Amino acid sequence: MITDAILRLLLRVLIVPLGYVCGMLATMAVVVIGYWQIGNLLAGVDEIELFSILDAMMTAMMALTAVVTTMWLIASIGILFAECFAVRSWIFHTANGAISAWLGAQLFTPYDGTQVPFDGDFYIIAAGLAGGLAYWLVAGWSAGFWKPVASPRPDALPAPRAAQTLPPPAENGPRQR
């Protein structure tokens, strides 16, 4: 019993960071594909422009990594709660992702001198939902190291006992109807 708990704890130590990374990648993918609209950006460019765009995207990915890391640091509170109380609901994990993404993005508001207004709240929430769902798919569905995923099998039923034979009823005279 104790060895099962220790093995489960070690498994959670490996699975939770893997889910964390998958959630971060899903969050970044939604921002890059949705908000940055990378498909429209790369359509119809020649080779030199492509390298310039990719260079600019690599630089922007560094900034995006800082934002996403902040979002997921906030999500760690919900992840810790889920691990402590074995919350395995996909709704909890996706809501945790959306709320933490929105809170994390609020820490990185655009500075006043920017020429481009920020209108990406929809994409931030969508990125959080996608990240939370990705985390749940990898690690959240089995949250809680102390609670097994499957319910324990019931003990085997006892073998049936031999039927007892009852003595025939005593006859106390004729039966009446």
The owner of tokens 């996608």 is 130
The Cα–Cα gap between 119 and 56 comes to 21
Extract the tokens encoding 102.
């929105």
Q: Is residue 159 included in any domain, yes or no?
A: no
Domain range for 16 is 2-110+118-142
- The 10s digit of each residue's pLDDT in 78-136 is 999 998 888 989 999 999 999 999 998 888 766 566 665 566 788 889 999 999 999 99
Report residue 53's pLDDT band, with 50, 70 and 90 as the boundaries.
Answer: confident
CA dihedral (35, 38, 40, 43) in degrees, to 10, reads 170
Q: For residue 42, is it within any domain?
A: yes
Q: Is 128 within a domain?
A: yes
Phi, psi of 148 (to 5 degrees): -65, 155
Look up residue 170 and give its two tokens: 């005593």
Distances (CA, A) of 144 to 14, 54, 81, 177: 13, 41, 9, 69
Is a pLDDT exceeding 80 seen at residue 61? yes
In a domain, 22, yes or no: yes
Count the domains in the chain. 1
Residue 112's pLDDT is 61
- Name the pTM for this structure: 0.71
**pLDDT computed for residue 132 by the predictor:** 94
Q: Does residue 160 lie within any of the structural domains?
A: no
Rounded alpha-carbon distances, angstroms, from residue 102 to 21, 71, 108? 18, 8, 10
Question: What's the pLDDT score for residue 22?
Answer: 93
Max Cα distance, the chain (Å): 115
